[in-house]
Amino acid sequence: MNGVDTAAVVRERPRLRADARRNRERIVGAAREMFVEFGADVPLDDVARRAGVGNATLYRHFADRRELVHEVVLSVLERIVVSGEAATAEEPDAFAALRRFAHGAAEEKVAAVCPLLSEDIDKSHPDMVAMRERLDGVIGALVGRAHASGQLRADVGAGDLMMVITHLARPLPGTRCAANEQFVHRHLDIMLDGLRDLHPTPLTGSAVELRDLRGIGQAESHADKLANRRSSGHANRDGNG
């Protein structure tokens, strides 16, 4: 665009009053959380409720679900880009920067963006194109720096890194998988060590034993049994009435 900062142009929005800006941010934050938990089909009324705003406020900012999904995708990608830029600037060690970026992306639930991108959103929108370019630049720089330092395997690319993060951090819509939430950063450390040969990364948390997994499974099974009992009780009362 003739030397103009494309990212700055496409992200420019009409100036909002402070309260309107806060409401918009709360709506996007609530939608991001609920899309991770339940998928993109979550009722927008529920999003408004979690954001602490009325339905009219939500629709004043976003005309429909498509607009809201578009903004959530941009929000997640932008937070990951900013995290990656900070890691690049602040970490003198190339692999430490890569590791910090990977954990930041997992924390932001980057895997949740994948199903959102299958929604009916405009992937060629200037906002989306500019954000992808920024993300590609950040990841490319991190991977290139780790290659140049000799710490990252030469046969590992930026796509490999993102797939590792995506597979480990992928949420299960409609569920609260305790095992995934509890161990994702530890297992990400393990996978990152598979991308290099020297200086193993100190793992997050302590060693996970089979009994730990069984304990989680038993707790979830107990919760399911309680839920089934309650459901059966309601059904019996309804039948007897």
Does pTM surpass 0.85? no
- The CATH architecture assigned to 67-208 reads Orthogonal Bundle (1.10)
Boundaries of every domain in the chain: 67-208, 209-241
One digit per residue, the tens of pLDDT, for the chain of length 241 reads 344 343 443 445 556 678 888 999 999 999 988 888 888 889 999 999 999 999 999 999 999 999 999 999 999 999 999 999 999 999 999 999 999 999 999 888 877 776 676 666 788 889 989 998 999 999 999 999 999 999 998 888 998 888 888 888 765 555 555 446 678 888 899 889 888 866 666 777 776 765 776 766 555 555 555 555 555 555 555 555 4
**Where would I find the H helices in the chain?**
6-11, 18-38, 44-51, 55-61, 65-90, 94-107, 113-117, 126-148, 158-169, 178-193, 210-240
- Rounded to an integer, what distance in angstroms lies between the CA atom of residue 46 and that of residue 237? 29
